[in-house]
């Protein structure tokens, strides 16, 4: 049955599915793709199959590539939008499709980046090239009209749940937690009004972390970072990416010492003529407060004592800075 009839790919282990669809893949690539060597990485999520192969260009030149199937429709959309523009901060797209072997299954053939991800080799000096890559994406994505903002989380509900968890789990510093949560709740309408009015709104990466950072050279720290994984791209304000990258290192601040993500991305944006918006430092403080104060609500998944202790300190710091 044809993909247009809406068939999803059959349930099968990723490698088995990939092997079964290889003839269709080779046909779709018009013989330019070699036999992929399918593998699965330790950091890979979901049921995608990934393989190393070679691509033969129209002039006979060969390129080392990675084949991925299936990929999220958003990933496919953004690789098609930015992967053909030749920017060094983004992977080159060689071929792609929305169906394979009669099934609705998006797939891509992209360049194989030589080194990374930077999860293991991350140092504070990686922040600046990471910022440059995030800004390169936003700059190129700016030619595409933005979607409406996605709905905000139920922040008040999360604060209420955080209060409940503080009591239920008898967290260390419960009295201080309750004070921080009361103050956040008291000021929430004001803070969310400021947050809702934030500008500029644009396409952001949405998952800016070292696991999505690759490099083409062996230099450490890298002079250039190439961003991968566009499945979480969405409309937002750039401080959301910056604070997310920062939050990943709250427990180990030495990993970004002297290279703060908000400052680095702001400088990179200014350098290429992008508007930073008004009072981005206040917006970053609001975002930090919302992330830190609601952390106990997610104690089952993000509830290490050290992390919660750091979040409490970050919440108190943000409350003071927002007065």
Task: Give the domain CATH number at 66.
Answer: 3.30.200
- Tokens for 211, please give them: 């696991």
SS3 179: helix
Q: Where are the beta strands (DSSP E) in the chain?
A: 37-39, 49-56, 62-69, 93-100, 103-111, 202-204, 213-214, 226-227, 234-236
230 with 310, same domain? yes
> Which domain does 23 fall in, by range?
3-111
Looking at the domain assignment, is residue 29 inside a domain?
A: yes
Give long-range contacts, CB 8 A cutoff, 24+ apart: 251-254.
251/304, 251/306, 251/307, 251/310, 254/124
133 with 199, same domain? yes
180 with 296, same domain? yes
Cα separation, 24 vs 100, whole angstroms: 6
pLDDT tens for each residue of the chain, 323 residues long: 334 445 655 555 556 788 889 999 999 999 999 999 998 665 455 568 899 999 999 999 999 999 999 999 999 999 999 999 999 999 999 999 999 988 899 999 999 999 989 988 999 999 999 999 999 999 999 999 999 999 999 999 999 999 999 999 999 999 999 999 999 999 999 999 999 999 999 999 999 999 999 999 888 889 999 999 999 999 999 999 999 999 999 999 999 999 999 999 999 999 999 999 999 999 999 999 999 999 999 998 877 999 999 999 999 999 999 98
Number of domains in the chain: 2
Nearest residue to 280 via CA among 271, 288, 292? 288
128 with 105, same domain? no
165 with 309, same domain? yes
299 with 155, same domain? yes
To which residue do tokens 């709905």 refer?
Answer: 151
Cα separation, 183 vs 159, whole angstroms: 11
């Amino acid at each position: 049955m044809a993909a247009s009839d809406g068939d999803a790919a059959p349930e099968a282990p990723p490698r088995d599915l990939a092997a079964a669809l290889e003839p269709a893949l080779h046909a779709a690539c018009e013989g330019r793709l070699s036999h992929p060597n399918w593998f699965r990485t330790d950091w890979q999520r979901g049921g995608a199959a990934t393989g190393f192969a070679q691509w033969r260009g129209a002039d006979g030149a060969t390129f080392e590539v990675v084949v991925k199937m299936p990929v999220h429709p958003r990933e496919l959309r953004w690789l098609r939008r930015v992967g053909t523009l030749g920017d060094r901060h983004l992977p080159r797209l060689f071929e792609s499709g929305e169906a394979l072997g009669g099934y609705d299954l998006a797939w891509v053939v992209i360049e194989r980046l030589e080194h990374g991800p930077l999860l293991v080799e991350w140092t504070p000096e990686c922040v600046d090239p990471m910022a440059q890559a995030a800004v390169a994406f936003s700059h190129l994505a700016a030619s595409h009209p933005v979607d409406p903002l996605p709905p905000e989380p139920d922040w008040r509900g999360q604060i209420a749940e955080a209060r409940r968890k503080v009591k239920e789990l008898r967290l260390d510093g419960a009295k201080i937690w309750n004070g921080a949560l009361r103050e956040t709740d008291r000021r929430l309408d004001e803070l969310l009004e400021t947050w809702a009015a934030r500008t500029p709104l644009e396409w952001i990466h949405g998952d800016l972390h070292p696991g999505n950072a690759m490099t083409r050279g062996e230099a450490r720290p890298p002079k250039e970072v190439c961003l991968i994984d566009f499945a979480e791209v969405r409309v937002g304000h750039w401080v959301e990416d910056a604070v997310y990258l920062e939050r990943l290192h709250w427990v180990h601040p030495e990993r970004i010492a002297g290279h703060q993500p908000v400052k680095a991305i702001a400088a990179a944006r200014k350098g290429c003529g992008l508007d930073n918006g008004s009072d981005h430092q206040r917006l970053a403080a609001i975002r930090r407060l919302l992330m830190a104060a609601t952390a106990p609500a997610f104690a089952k998944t993000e509830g290490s004592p050290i992390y919660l202790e750091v979040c409490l300190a970050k919440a108190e710091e943000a409350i003071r800075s927002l007065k």
